[in-house]
Amino acid sequence: MAATRKRKLPVLALDIGGTKIITALISPKGEMLAREYSLTLADEGPEAVIRRIFSAIDHLLALRNMTLGQLEALSIAAAGPIDMAGGTVSDSPNLPGWRNIPLRNIVKDRFGIDTYLINDAKAAVLGEHRFGAGQGVNNLIYITVSTGIGGGIIANGKLYFGESGGAGEVGHMTIDINGPACSCGNIGCWETLASGKALAREAIRRLSAGEKSSLIDMAAGRIENITAKEVSLAAQSGDSLAQSVIARTAYYLGVGLVNLVNIFNPEVIIIGGGLSKMGDLLLLEPARQVVRERAFPLLAQAVRIVPAKLGDDAGVFGAAVFAFQPR
Amino acid sequence: MAATRKRKLPVLALDIGGTKIITALISPKGEMLAREYSLTLADEGPEAVIRRIFSAIDHLLALRNMTLGQLEALSIAAAGPIDMAGGTVSDSPNLPGWRNIPLRNIVKDRFGIDTYLINDAKAAVLGEHRFGAGQGVNNLIYITVSTGIGGGIIANGKLYFGESGGAGEVGHMTIDINGPACSCGNIGCWETLASGKALAREAIRRLSAGEKSSLIDMAAGRIENITAKEVSLAAQSGDSLAQSVIARTAYYLGVGLVNLVNIFNPEVIIIGGGLSKMGDLLLLEPARQVVRERAFPLLAQAVRIVPAKLGDDAGVFGAAVFAFQPR
C-alpha cells in the first residue's frame, strides 16, 4: 500500500552539465510537470556548483509550492564517471576540480530524502530508451555531442554500467593516435575532434590563419569567442568556411561511429547534444555515409543512426527513470 | 531421459582461423578428448577450405574410431563476422573470398547432426570465461592478437552478440585516422598497428631501410619472410631492433586497450592469440602502463589485464561451450 502511494509521486530530477543545470519535476508516466534552467558556472569549482544545486532544488520546490514530502526522490545526472557504489563523481573532464566528490550523500544529507546519482549520458540513454528515440530497442548506444562527447549503452535491453559504473565514455576513445591532447589525459580522443569545442577551435584556427567568413562579422571581430552555435548558423546561411568546418566534424563523428558499430553491432545509435541540432543534412547524413563506407557491411546494415527525441531533457527524464526503477 | 543421455556425449569442435584449423573432441565437463591441427590454406578460397573442414571432421572421427551418433553436435568457430540467424560467414578479412557462405547448413547437410557456428573470438571468450582466465567474471573482454585482432565481450555475465551477432570486432576500430588502410575497408584500424602482421611489416620496413639486426641472419637474408615469431625470438635474444618494434606494438596495443577500458569499464581483459605468447615483460606490461597513464583512473583501477589461459584451444573449448548451452 505504501509502495503504491509512493510511486504516484514525482521525482525532482537534475542534470548537471558543464554549462547548465536543468531541474525538472517528472511524474512516473513521464510527464514533465515543471522545468527550470540555471548556469553551472563550473569554473568556480565543486563547492560553488553544489550550492547552486541546493538552490536549484529549493527554487523548483518553491515555484511549485511543494515540500520534500511530496517527492518520490531526488535524482541527479552529472557529467563524468560516477562511482555507483559510493555515489561519488570521481573525475569529470567537464566539471573542473571534481574528484571523488560524494555528491549523492551531500544532497541526501541536505534534503533528507532518497537521492540517486547517475552519469548524465547514462541517464540520457535511459530517457531516450524509455520515452524517446530508442523505445523497444535492445541494443542501443546514445551519444551526446556537445562541449564534449558522452555516451550510454543499452545491452540486451539493460543499461550497461560496467564493473564500477563508469562504462560508456565513448568520447574518450583515441581515434587519432597523433592527435590533440585531451583534457582527460588521453591523446586524440573522439571528443578532441568531433565535439562542439573541437568544431569551434577549428573554425577559430582557420579564421586566425586569415580565411574569410561571415563568422568574422557575426563575432564582431572577436573570433576567439566563436562557438559551435555561430558556426552552425553561418553554415545554414551558406558560409563556405563554416560548412567546411562542419563537414570535417561530421567526418570525425562518422569515424567514431564506425568504431562503435564494429564493436557493438547496435540496432540504433541515437545522437543527442547541442551539435545534433545541426540536423541531418549538415551533420548526420555525412556521418552515416562514413559508416556505410567503412564499417563491416553486415553491421552497417543493421544500424539506424537517428537524432535524439528528448533534446536537452533526456538527462532529467533518464534520471527520473533511474529513480523509478524497482530496487 | 533422452536429453540426459545426449548431454553425456562430446562435441566435435572446430576453430577455423586464417592460418590453421583446430579440430577437437570436448566433453561436457571440458575434458579435451582429442585434438588435431591442419592448415587452412585460406588463399585457396572457401570451397577448398570447406573440403578441408569436411576432411578434418572425418579424420578425427576415424582416429577415434567414432561415429556421428556418438556426438552431441558439431560446433564451428570461424574468423570474421557471423550472421547468427542464417549461420553464415558474412565477410571475413582473414578468410579471403568468404562472403555470405552458409557454413552452418553446409556442414549440417553433409553430416546430418546438430551443427553450431559462432565467431572465433566469441567462442574464445566463452571458453576463457567458462574454463580459463575469466571464470566468475561478469564484465570481460577477450582480445585475440595474432595475424589480426579479434574480440569477444561478456556483459553482465552473458556473451554479447549485438543486433545481428557481429559485435566484438574490436580489431577494427580506428585508432589512427591517418593510418594504414585495413583489409576490412576501414582506415587505421587497431589491427593495422598492433597485430602480428603489423609487427612483422614494421620489422621488414626498418630492415629494408638498412637497419641492422640479428633478424637478417635468422631470415637468411629473405627479410620479406620475417614473421612476428622471428621478431619475438630475436627480441628475447636481446636484438634491439626487434625489441624496439615490439615496444611500438605494445604501445599501440595499449592505446586500443585504453579505448576498451573507457568504453566498457571491464573487470578483466584477457589477451590471447599468438602475440600474447611474447609474455608480460615485452608486451603486456608496457601495454598496461599505457592504460594506467591514459584511461580514466577509476576505470584503469578496476581492470585486470591478463594473458589467456587456454592458448590456441580457447576457440574449440568455447565452440563446445556454445553447443552445450541450453536452448
Give me the residue from B158, B255, B293 closest to A156, CB to CB: B158
Using one digit for the tens of pLDDT, what is the confidence trace for A194-204? 999 999 999 99
Banded pLDDT at A8 (limits 50, 70, 90)? confident
Cross-strand partners of B75: B13, B116
The CATH T-level fold of domain B133-308 is Nucleotidyltransferase; domain 5 (3.30.420)
Sequence-distant (≥ 6) Cβ neighbours of residue A327 within 8 angstroms: none
Distance from CA of B174 to the nearest CA of A (A): 5
Query: By the CB < 8 Å criterion, does A81 face chain B?
Result: yes
Q: How many CB atoms lie within 10 A of CB B201?
A: 17
Distance from CA of A285 to the nearest CA of B (A): 18
Across the beta sheet with B115-119, the strand order is: B32-39, B20-26, B11-16, B73-78, B115-119
Do the chains contact at B262 and A186, CB–CB below 8 Å? yes
Banded pLDDT at B113 (limits 50, 70, 90)? very high
How many interface pairs between A and B have CB atoms less than 8 angstroms apart? 175
Residue of B nearest to A298 (CA): B90
Ordered by start, the domain boundaries in chain B are 2-126+313-324, 133-308
Query: By the CB < 8 Å criterion, does B251 face chain A?
Result: no
- Helix (H) or strand (E) segment spanning residue B272: strand B268-272
Amino acid residing at A149: I
Distance from CA of B9 to the nearest CA of A (A): 31
Phi then psi for residue B47, to 5 deg, are -60, -45
Query: By the CB < 8 Å criterion, does B297 face chain A?
Result: yes
Amino acid residing at B111: F
Residue of A nearest to B260 (CA): A173
Residue of A nearest to B268 (CA): A163
Residue of A nearest to B175 (CA): A175
Give me the residue from A167, A255, A262 closest to B264, CB to CB: A167
Give me the residue from A81, A160, A265 closest to B162, CB to CB: A265
pLDDT value at residue B107: 98
Using one digit for the tens of pLDDT, what is the confidence trace for A285-323? 999 999 999 999 989 999 999 999 999 899 999 999 999
Residue-level length of chain B:
327
Mean per-residue pLDDT for B192-209?
A: 96
Do the chains contact at A186 and B294, CB–CB below 8 Å? yes
User: Same topology for domains B2-126+313-324 and B133-308, yes or no?
Assistant: yes
The CATH T-level fold of domain B2-126+313-324 is Nucleotidyltransferase; domain 5 (3.30.420)
Do the chains contact at A160 and B163, CB–CB below 8 Å? no
Closest CA to A215 of A274, A283, A227: A227
Banded pLDDT at B79 (limits 50, 70, 90)? confident
Please tell me the distance from the alpha carbon of residue A128 to that of residue A155, in angstroms, as a whole number. Answer: 14
Do the chains contact at B302 and A151, CB–CB below 8 Å? no
Give me the residue from B90, B252, B296 closest to A81, CB to CB: B296
From the centroid of its chain, how far is CA B66?
A: 29
Using one digit for the tens of pLDDT, what is the confidence trace for A255-272? 999 999 999 999 999 999
Query: By the CB < 8 Å criterion, does B168 face chain A?
Result: yes
Express as a percent the part of chain A with pLDDT over 70. Answer: 98
Decide: A211 and A226 in contact? Cβ < 8 Å: no
Tell which A residues from 206 to 235 touch B, by Cβ distance under 8 Å. none
- Rounded (10°) CA dihedral A276, A279, A280, A281: -130
Do the chains contact at B163 and A263, CB–CB below 8 Å? no
Do the chains contact at A187 and B294, CB–CB below 8 Å? yes
Decide: A130 and A317 in contact? Cβ < 8 Å: yes
Banded pLDDT at A107 (limits 50, 70, 90)? very high
Task: Using DSSP, state whether B71 is helix, strand or coil.
Answer: coil
Distance from CA of A8 to the nearest CA of B (A): 31
